[in-house]
Every structure is written in structure tokens, then in C-alpha cells.
Amino acid sequence: MAAKVILITGASSGIGLATAELLHAEGFTVYGTSRRANNASKYKFQMIELDVNQEDSVAQAIEKVISTEGHIDVLINNAGFAIAPAGAEESSMQQAQAIFETNFFGALYSASKHALEGYSESLDHELRSHGIRVSLIEPAYTNTSLGMNLLKADAQVTAYEQIREKLHQQMIETIRNSDDPSIVANTILAVINSQNILPRYTSGTTARYLKNLRKFAPVKVFDKLIQRSLKV
């Protein structure tokens, strides 16, 4: 049987890279994407250029894979970036739109991810009759360069200065000590190989713990734990 063709966005680092390498090693035909594909030869899988914010770039990347392989079996929407801790009013409309452009169309990080959750669930129902399933893979913090690539809020409020710096350092520290991206890669592999695809999966022990806590702990307890973990 021909190997499944996988397209994974944002495969130049972190979770995307770990997943692309694992799937390639497992024998899948893997196409990864990056906005800078000029050093494509350093990857074991095929790296092609794609900026999820540019319609033309998306069309060209898809065309490239389809013209070579004839089809795409699995699309892993992984490309994304985060914003350094910031109050909602600290981002201009332009910046908020840029985050949605990358994380949703192509929070306000959290908002863009919630939007993506809702959209993915709807899409899963919409596309099922075409034999296509849509799943959310939800890790907690993962040790990638996300913390290094944080976008700064472009209208910072002085009142948040202390807490911002504290949260920023805490976030970088937490990411550094968190799960290896290979854990997410293995979850994705298990989903691809599964006969019974579900709409939503957690990845790693922290994400599983948080999901269970959310499900079973009283709202007040959950709220307290989040506040305590943020140390605010």
C-alpha cells in the first residue's frame, strides 16, 4: 500500500520538526513547510516554502504536493506563534489580526486557539461525509523555541510592567522544563494510525492532568490552582 502523504505546517522547529521527523522515520511521505525553505536540504523530509498568511503561498505549496503526489492524506495545522504575556488592551487591532492571521486563518493567543477549537469541531462534522476527519491535538507547554519567538504586545501598559516581566520569565522557564516535542509527535502518529479517530486528544501528562482537573474539580478549586500556578 502507498505511504500516506502528510503535509505539516511549521516544520522547521519544535513540535512540527519533531513530528515531521518521526512520521518520515515511520515511512510516511512527509512534506514540511517553513517560511524560509532555502535550506531545505538539511531536512530528511521534503521542506517546502509556505507562509500561512499568504493565500498565494498556500496555493503554491498545496499545488506542489498535489502535482507530485496526487493527493494529501493528512494535514497537520501546526504553524503558529505566541505573544508574550500581555493584557488584551495592550495589543493593537493590527497586532491582534496578525495573530489570528497566523494561528487561526492560516490571543490574543488563547482567543485564536479557542476559535481554532470551535472551527475544527465544526469542520469535523462538515467534512465527515467526504471521509475526512478533523482532530485537535492539545499539548500543555512543550519544550520548543516558542518561548524565544514570543511577539511583544505593541501597546504595552505601564500598570502591567511588573507582572508582565514575571510572567514572561515564568513562561520561558516553564517551556524550558516542559515535555519534549517528541511526545506530541507520538500522539500525532497514534492518531494517524488509529482506526477510530476522535475529535480531540490531549498530549503529555500535564495536558491530561489539566483536562481531568477541569472535568472533575469544582470550578473554584480549578480557578485557585490556575491562579496559584501563575503566581499572580
- When the beta carbons of 146 and 153 are compared against ligand NAP, the nearer one is 146
* In the complex, minimum distance from the CB of residue 197 to ligand NAP, in angstroms, rounded to a whole number: 20
DSSP, res 115: H
* In the complex, minimum distance from the CB of residue 119 to ligand NAP, in angstroms, rounded to a whole number: 14
CA torsion angle 209 214 219 223 (round to 10): 60
Asked whether 189 and 23 are in contact (CB, 8 A), the reply is yes
Asked whether 112 and 99 are in contact (CB, 8 A), the reply is yes
Contact footprint for ligand NAP (CB under 6 A): 9-16, 34-36, 50-53, 78-82, 102, 106, 139, 141-142, 144-146, 149, 175
* In the complex, minimum distance from the CB of residue 112 to ligand NAP, in angstroms, rounded to a whole number: 9
- When the beta carbons of 157 and 190 are compared against ligand NAP, the nearer one is 190
Name the H helices within the chain: 14-25, 55-69, 93-100, 109-127, 161-176, 181-193, 205-216, 219-230
* In the complex, minimum distance from the CB of residue 11 to ligand NAP, in angstroms, rounded to a whole number: 6
- When the beta carbons of 177 and 196 are compared against ligand NAP, the nearer one is 177
- When the beta carbons of 29 and 34 are compared against ligand NAP, the nearer one is 34
Rounded-to-integer distance, Cα 157 and Cα 171, Å: 19
- When the beta carbons of 5 and 107 are compared against ligand NAP, the nearer one is 107
* In the complex, minimum distance from the CB of residue 155 to ligand NAP, in angstroms, rounded to a whole number: 22
Helix axes 93-100, 109-127, angle to 10 degrees: 40
**Of all residues in this chain, which one has the CB nearest to ligand NAP in the complex?**
14
Grid cell for residue 194: 488509529
